[in-house]
Structure 1
Amino acid sequence: MRRRFDLLPREVGEGDPEGVEGVLLEALNPTMSAPKPTIRRARSLRRRLTPPEARLWMALRRKGLAGFRFRRQHPIGPYVLDFYCEAVRLAVEVDGLRHDFGDGPERAELRDAWLAERDVRVLRISATDVRDDLDGVVRTILAWLTSPQERA
C-alpha cells in the first residue's frame, strides 16, 4: 500500500528535513503531524513525566483550565511539546536545569523559532515555579489563554 507521501519526488537525500522533501511534506501536512520516531518518543515520554510535568498535568488535564483542552507530550513536527493547547496554538514548556546549560538555550531558541513560524506560541515555565507556586503558574497560563494581548 502506497502512502500519498511516497508519490513525491525525492530531490534530496532521504530524511533530509531541510531539503525539498521536507518542504513538500510540510506543505501537504498543515497539521504539523510528526514522523513516526517523534511519535514513539512522545509515547515514551508520556509514561515518564518529570515530577513538575506530572504536577502541572494534574491541573491541566480533563479541560481543567477554563475548559481548554491540553495534550501532554504532544508530537509536532520534529519536536515533542510538554503541553499543547490546539485551540489557541499554545505550547507550555516546563524547563528544568538541563535547559539552562550546554546547548539547551540554543536548542530551545531554534525550537521556539520553528514553532513561531507555524504560529505556535511558547510559554516557558521553570520547573521550580511549578514545584513552588503551582497556583501562580496556573494563573499565568490562564491569563495567556483568556487575554488577547498575551497572544500577540
Structure 2
Amino acid sequence: MNKKTTMPEDRSLLERAKKLRKNMTQEERKLWYLYLSKHSLRFYRQKIIGHYICDFYCPVIRLVIELDGSQHYTEKEQEYDKKRTAFLESCHIKVIRFYNGQVNLHFKEVCMEIEKAIAERR
C-alpha cells in the first residue's frame, strides 16, 4: 500500500471536525482512550476524507472505523452511509462499522474485530 498517498479533503469541514473531536460520544471516547490512542498504528479522530468526516482513520493501512448511534437506523441515514462507504471504498479504504451498543456491551470483541481488519490490511 502506498503510505504517502494523501486523501482528498473538504477544508470547509475543518471546524466541524474540530468540534466533533472536542465533543466525542461516550462510545468514541471509550474506543479512543482505551484502545486506539494506545495502538502501535496511528489513528486519527474525526478525519476529513473527501466530503465526509470519519470517526477514526488509520492512513498506513487505509482503515476507517465508524461508530453508529441510533440515528443510523433510519432509511435515509442508511442510504447516506452506503453512499459514504462507496466513496471511501473507491479510495481503497476499508470501512468497518460498529453500533454503539457493541462498544458498550462487547468491547473486547470490537477490539478483536478491529485487530482482524488490521491484520487483513497489512
TM-score by length of 2: 0.89
- Say which SS state the counterpart of residue 112 (structure 1) adopts: helix
- Say which SS state the counterpart of residue 9 (structure 2) adopts: coil
Select the structure of larger CA radius of gyration: 1
Residue 89 (structure 1) aligned with residue 62 (structure 2): yes
Q: Quick one: distance in 1 between partners of 2:7 and 2:84?
A: 14
- Greater strand percent: which structure? 2
Aligned to 1:36: 11
Residue 104 (structure 1) aligned with residue 38 (structure 2): no
Higher relative contact order, structure no. (Cα contacts within 8 Å, ≥ 6 residues apart): 2
Q: Quick one: distance in 2 between partners of 1:32 and 1:144?
A: 20
The percent of aligned pairs where both chains have the same amino acid is: 33
In structure 1, runs of 5+ residues without a counterpart are: 1-29
**Over aligned residues, Cα RMSD in angstroms?**
1.2
Aligned to 2:27: 52
Which stretch has the larger CA shift, 94-103 or 116-125? 94-103
- Say which SS state the counterpart of residue 84 (structure 2) adopts: helix
Structure 1 consecutive aligned stretches of length 4 or more whose deviation exceeds 2 Å: none
Aligned to 1:141: 114
Residue 70 (structure 1) aligned with residue 32 (structure 2): no
Residue identity opposite 1:93 in structure 2: E
When the two structures are aligned, how many residues end up with a matched partner?
116
